[in-house]
Amino acid sequence: MNGWIFIDKPKDITSFKVIQRLRKILNIKKIGHAGTLDPFATGILAIAVGEATKSIHYFNQNKVYKFNVVFGVSKDTDDITGNTTDKSDIIPTKEAIDQCSRKFIGNHSQVPPQYSAVKVNGKRAYKLARTNQEFTIQSKNVFIKSLKCLEFKNNCEYSFIMECSSGTYVRSIARDIGKMLGTYAYVSELRRIKIGKIEEKDIILLDKFEELVHIGDHFEAMHSIRDVLDDIPAVLIDQELSLKFRNGLSFEYSNKKSENDYLLIETEKKFIGIGKFVDGKIKPVRVFNL
């Protein structure tokens, strides 16, 4: 039981609850996820099981979101679940939104929402916010590859699609677009539709996966570590070097790759682990017991 499961997270359930349920269904302790989804959000939740938990750090892919933004209202959570804090009669046009959206493309500094899992002096921001404590969240650098306003939904709501780096808060983007256009805004719907090469066609409903577990067919719904990390270049080695790598020893390797590049290390029969190219050698970083 070593691999990745890509669950279509239901609405109104936390990512942690999904993990808890899968841990119980699979009767396994080693399980984790790559990127939390807010409870009101749906879409791809990438879950690593067993030895795959060692590969979470390397599955740091761009994510694509579809979301709706309501203008003219602000929420304390920056999403539909929060309490209304301010209102404005200003509802921007699509042309104004398009001009504004272009300013977010590229490297972007954003402040995460007050209701987020970011730690402030060792405590989660959302816990401080719930108890009405005053605090400041430091801005963080993210990368926005694309951000487009798709269509006008109703008298104050627009739909968007965005591709961004891991760690980007969609709620912050909506809030900041509102501010830049002289009004307020919050996210009313949010769905993650892609992580790296993983798309909606690759995901499975939580209930459906549970059904497959009961009849023993769930392995077909799982993805191997090797398959999920296939954007990382691979190096094929023999059994002698394989033994050396497994024992934590580096070996000589000559190629044109940049220093500190990660590499998948494998033999003809087996995926062994992840190495790093340093000073003309491949140094073991992660070894998988598969």
How many domains does the chain divide into? 3
Looking up residue 243, the CATH number of its domain turns out to be 2.30.130.60
pLDDT at 220: 81
pLDDT at 43: 96
Neighbours of 69 (CB within 10 A): 25
d(CA 144, CA 170): 11
pLDDT at 255: 67
User: Angle 15-26/206-215 helices, nearest 10 degrees?
Assistant: 10
User: Angle 170-180/94-102 helices, nearest 10 degrees?
Assistant: 120
176 and 120 in one domain?
yes
Q: Is 269 in a helix, a strand, or coil?
A: coil
Position 221 confidence tier, pLDDT thresholds 50, 70, 90 = confident
Burial class (CB in 10 A: 0-12, 13-18, 19+), 4: buried
Pick the residue with more confidence: 58 or 41?
A: 41
191 and 71 in one domain?
yes
The residue among 208, 227, 246 that closes a domain is: 227
236 and 182 in one domain?
no
Neighbouring-strand partners of residue 199? 194
Rounded to 5, what percent of the chain is helix, strand, coil? Answer: 25, 35, 35
Q: DSSP letters along 104-136, please?
A: TSEEEEEPPPSSSS-EETTEEHHHHHHTT----
93 and 52 in one domain?
no
133 and 40 in one domain?
no
For the chain, the average pLDDT equals 91
Verify whether residue 38 is a known catalytic residue: yes
131 and 96 in one domain?
yes
Per residue in 130-185, pLDDT tens?
A: 888 888 888 999 999 999 999 998 889 999 999 999 889 999 999 999 999 999 99
172 and 256 in one domain?
no
Mean pLDDT of 190-200: 94
Domain that holds residue 73: 63-195
Compute the chain's Rg from CA coordinates: 22
pLDDT at 258: 60
- Sequence-ordered alpha helix ranges (H) in the chain: 15-26, 94-102, 125-130, 170-180, 206-215, 225-228, 239-246
The residue among 212, 227, 242 that closes a domain is: 227
91 and 158 in one domain?
yes
Mean pLDDT of 269-289: 89
Q: Which residue has the tokens 């992660």?
A: 286
Mean pLDDT of 30-42: 92
pLDDT > 90? residue 193? yes
Position 129 confidence tier, pLDDT thresholds 50, 70, 90 = confident
Q: Which of 72, 176, 77 is nearest to 126 (CA)?
A: 77
97 and 188 in one domain?
yes
| 47 to 14, 31, 169, 222, 225: CA distances (angstroms) | 13, 7, 20, 10, 11
pLDDT > 70? residue 6? yes
Looking up residue 170, the CATH number of its domain turns out to be 3.30.2350.10
262 and 204 in one domain?
no
Per residue in 74-110, pLDDT tens?
A: 999 999 999 999 999 999 999 999 999 999 999 999 9
189 and 205 in one domain?
no
pLDDT > 90? residue 5? yes
67 and 56 in one domain?
no
Q: Is 139 in a helix, a strand, or coil?
A: coil
Given 8, 38, 78, 176, the catalytic residue = 38
pLDDT at 145: 96
Position 280 confidence tier, pLDDT thresholds 50, 70, 90 = confident
Amino acid at the residue 49: V
